[in-house]
Chain A
Amino acid sequence: MKIETNTHEKNILRLAEEHPELVVLSADLGTSCEVKSFRAKYPDRYFTLGIAEQNMVSWAAGLAREGYRPFIHTFAVFEYRRVLDQVEMSVAYPNLPVVFVGFVPGITTPGGVSHQSINDVAVMRSVPNMAVFDVGDATDIDYILDIAYNYNGPAYIRQLRKDVPRLFPADEPVVFNRARVLSEGDDVVLLSSSICTEEAMRATAVLKERGVSVQHMHVTTLAPFTDPTIVDAIAKAKYGVVTIENHLKTGGLGSATADLMAEHGLGKRLIKVGLDGYAHGASKMYLMEKYGINAMKLVKAVEELTGKELNINNEDLQEVRFVDFLEV
């Protein structure tokens, strides 16, 4: 599996070149969010607003009102918890095209609970007018900025930085509000997002060997969440649905899927894999293991849905993993 480095940096520079009204705002974390070279190249289009996120969000609204296209860069956690009122009243209510690029989402940071955005999807999905995206690989990163730029309103991106695997072909674009089919099948539908897709791919490969037919779909657009291809897949699933996300089980991919199933009258079982509560500071691999956001947990969920003992162990699930995040 190919590991790509600083993919966001390349894309924000490309987009900035295409759109002279694009500006970047940061609250002292630009260098941690791959916009150091943007600042060097476009010093007049880079706002350092100090460690003061509330002012930054409303300031971005003022810029957007005048035709600029602000891309806020800081850690995901600081783009929804501390500034929710500013996000809602300054940006979302007037439907301004401000893009919130949120880095180190969920447990991809060892920074501990203050740095881990574990309910950001839940919160941002509940904000009217807001589009929510969760990227899972370098191809997602390649296309997501353009999708957010072209969205008619504010957008929130859970962005991955530094070393990120390329799981999907670089020439197969992300489609807005459409899941990417990674495996076809009709026993179980498996929906994954963010860093969990890599885990799900590992699980799917082994599950197939054991004769389970898995429809695996990677979800990048979490709001809106009305993808008819997901509805169709779930309608065909014999045993039910499993979701896995780098997020709390409440309000994220799993909850969105539950809503969709209920709205379409798809009375099947759903098993949500994700966090049950706050996490703590440690490496990503350790946290995924500790909180059960991994391939083995998916296997157990599929066993529960199908009622079959699959006899899959950790060795079966081993595969090349990408470099861990160690830096805050």
Chain B
Amino acid sequence: MDKKIYTTEEIQAIADSIRKQILGIALKTGGCYLAQACSSAEIVASLYTNVMNLGPSEGPGEPIPFPGVPGPDNMDYPKGALYNGAPAPDKDRLFVSCCHYASVIYSALSAVGRLCPEWTEKFNVDGWNMEMIGAEHSPGFENTAGSLGQTISIAAGTAWARKARGDSGRNFVMLGDGELQEGQTWECIQAASYYKLDNLIVVIDANGQQVEGKIEDQMNVEPLVDRFKAFGAECVSVDGHNIEEFEKAFETEHKDKPLVVIGRTKGYTGMKPLEKRWPFLHFVRIGKEDREEFQKIYDEM
């Protein structure tokens, strides 16, 4: 079956649906990682449509009870990566490092038909697999990423193994920009460059915010493009809300080098009332006083 090519409008519609769905969760529960949905909606929507080459989902399609902690007697539980399709030599893989974005990933899976729309009913519900911060068993997740900086290395190890095997599929890893403060990120880029892992594609939602505020006020990570290039990767920086520009970034020539695509974004895109709270948007709470304003946005979406 040929891969479906989505129009920009279709991708934008998916991005919009992600924002709406996550806002719906925020309204229902009083708060969630809403700004991450607003900053990454176009990035994630593009990845799950035209950018990545994934096989059909092999996941259960709907939330399941937490399948247990992995261990010698529990290795065959349904893996979160199954929702991205069965592993195959020509297929791409996605490693989500910024696992606070779990709801965004679930929402994107749902928007492209890999997860039922009712997933929101089991999101962050005790005893279910749709956890707020994803792990091995969470839909769309390859690994347990909550401790930042590690997933890029896991993806690189995987990329090396797949390259050695002759797989043509690429290995995407999605990061936030705050995570670039972790030393391991740079240990990995130097190693991935050294091993010429041109099948490793790093995607960054550079929303410029972290828990305590603006990234540049906590610990500067710029100039990112220069830094990645200095460590041996190819790197491009684009508007992460511009779907066409973002998609095109993946066509960048990166022979023998990992490719880093930085999507510059804002955590309040499509959610005007958040702008005045920026950069304190790590976890957005919607109190009584804001409810009406956000409800109105939701209803108009």
- A62's partner among B136, B146, B147, B157 (CB-CB below 8 A) is B157
- Per the 8 Å Cβ criterion, residues 94-120 of A in contact with B are 94-95
Q: Does A43 contact B (CB under 8 A)?
A: no
> For the complex, is A274 an interface residue (Cβ under 8 Å from B)?
no
Known: A94-B70, A129-B71. 17 other contacts (CB 8 A): A44-B164, A50-B194, A52-B187, A55-B184, A58-B154, A59-B154, A59-B160, A60-B157, A62-B161, A65-B157, A65-B161, A66-B157, A66-B158, A86-B184, A90-B150, A90-B153, A90-B154
Determine whether the beta carbon of B158 is less than 8 Å from that of A58.
no
The smallest C-beta distance from A193 to any residue of chain B, in angstroms, reads: 23
Q: Is B64 an interface residue (CB 8 A)?
A: no
Please tell me if the beta carbons of A90 and B161 are within 8 angstroms of each other in the complex.
no
Judge whether B8 is part of the interface by a CB distance below 8 angstroms: no
Residues on A close to B: CB < 8 A?
A: 44, 49-50, 52, 54-68, 85-86, 89-90, 93-95, 128-129, 152-153
Tell me the smallest distance from the CB of B167 to a CB of chain A, in Å. 9
What would 23 A/B residue contacts be, using CB atoms closer than 8 Å? A44-B164, A52-B190, A54-B153, A54-B187, A55-B153, A55-B188, A58-B153, A59-B156, A59-B191, A61-B153, A61-B154, A62-B156, A62-B160, A63-B157, A64-B157, A85-B147, A89-B144, A89-B150, A90-B154, A93-B70, A93-B135, A128-B71, A153-B71
Query: In whole Å, how far is A226's beta carbon from the nearest beta carbon of chain B?
Result: 14
Q: Known: A67-B161, A89-B146, A90-B154. Contact between A55 and B136, CB under 8 A?
A: no
Residues A66 and B161 in contact, CB atoms below 8 Å apart: yes
Checking A44, A56, A85, A93 against B136 with a beta-carbon cut-off of 8 angstroms, the contacting residue is A93
- B158 and A62 form a contact (CB under 8 A): yes
Does chain A have a CB within 8 A of B248?
no
Given contacts A49-B191, A93-B136, are A86 and B157 in contact (CB under 8 A)? no
Residue numbers in A under 8 Å from B152 (CB-CB): 58
Assess whether A66 is in contact with B144, with CB atoms less than 8 Å apart: no
The residue in B70, B146, B152 that gathers the most chain A C-beta atoms within 10 A of its C-beta is B70
Given contacts A55-B153, A61-B154, A62-B159, contact A90 B71 (CB under 8 A): no
In the complex with contacts A54-B149, A89-B144, A89-B150, A59-B70 CB distance below 8 A: no
Measured between alpha carbons, how far is A94 from B162 in the docked complex, in Å? 19
Segment 36-75 of B: residues with Cβ below 8 Å from A: 69-72, 75
Q: Distance (Å) between the CB of A251 and the closest chain B CB? A: 22
The reply to whether B72 and A153 form a contact with Cβ atoms under 8 Å apart is yes
List, in ascending order, chain A residues with CB within 8 A of B183's CB: 54
Nearest CB to that of A92 among chain B residues? B70
CB distance from A223 to the nearest CB of B (A): 13
The smallest C-beta distance from A158 to any residue of chain B, in angstroms, reads: 22
Residues of A within 8 A of B215 (CB): none
| Bound form: Cα–Cα A55–B193 in Å | 13
B75 cross-chain contacts in A, Cβ below 8 A: 95, 152
Contacts of B70 in A (CB 8 A): 93-95, 129
Q: B11 an interface residue at 8 Å Cβ cutoff?
A: no
| Bound Cα distance from A65 to B164, whole angstroms | 14
A62-B153 contact, Cβ under 8 Å, with A93-B144, A128-B71, A153-B72: yes
- Chain B interface, number of residues (Cβ within 8 angstroms): 35
Q: Nearest chain-A residue to B146 (Cβ)?
A: A89
Residues of B contacting A61 in the complex (Cβ-Cβ under 8 angstroms): 143, 153-154, 157
- B residues contacting A by CB (< 8 A) are 69-72, 75, 135-136, 142-144, 146-147, 149-162, 164-165, 183-184, 187-188, 190-191, 194
Distance (Å) between the CB of A29 and the closest chain B CB? 16
Contacts of B160 in A (CB 8 A): 59, 62-63
Question: What is the CB-to-nearest-CB distance from B152 to chain A, in angstroms, rounded to a whole number?
Answer: 8
- Which residue of A has the minimal Cβ distance to B153? A58
Beta-carbon contact of B153 and A63 below 8 Å = no
Contact A129 B72 (CB under 8 A): yes
Nearest CB of chain B from residue A21's CB, rounded to whole Å: 10
Q: Which residues of A lie under 8 Å from residue B156 when comparing CB positions?
A: 55, 59, 62
Centre residue among B75, B184, B190 by max chain A CB count within 10 A: B184
A-B interface, 5 closest residue pairs, ranked by CB to CB distance from nearest: A62-B157, A58-B153, A66-B161, A55-B187, A52-B187
CB A241 to nearest CB in B, in angstroms, measures 29
Residues of B within 8 A of A62 (CB): 153-161
The chain A residue sitting closest to B145, CB to CB, is A89
The 8 Å CB contact of B153, one of A59, A67, A68, A93, is A59
**Known A52-B187, A54-B184, A93-B136: A65·B154 in contact at CB below 8 Å:** yes
Partner of A89, one of B72, B147, B158, B162: B147
A50-B190, A54-B153, A62-B158 given; A94·B165 CB < 8 A: no
B72 → A minimal CB distance (Å): 4
Of all chain B residues, the one with the shortest Cβ separation from A129 is: B71
User: Shortest Cβ distance from B276 into chain A, in angstroms?
Assistant: 36
Which residues does chain B contribute within 8 Å of A52, judged by CB atoms? 184, 187, 190-191
Closest-CB distance, B229 to chain A (whole angstroms): 19
Q: Name the distance in Å between B147's Cβ and chain A's nearest Cβ.
A: 5
**With the chains together, A152 CA to B73 CA distance in Å?**
9
Determine how close the nearest CB of chain B comes to the CB of A264; give it in whole angstroms. Answer: 24
Interchain nearest-CB distance for A61 vs B (Å)? 5
CA distance A54 to B147 in the complex (A): 12
Q: Which residue of A lies closest to B79 (CB)?
A: A94
Residue of B151, B157, B164, B183 ringed by the most chain A CB atoms within 10 A: B157
The residues of B that contact A44 with a CB separation of less than 8 Å are: 164
Smallest beta-carbon distance A57→chain B, Å:
8
Are B71 and A50 touching (Cβ within 8 A)? Answer: no
Note all chain A residues with C-beta closer than 8 A to B159.
62
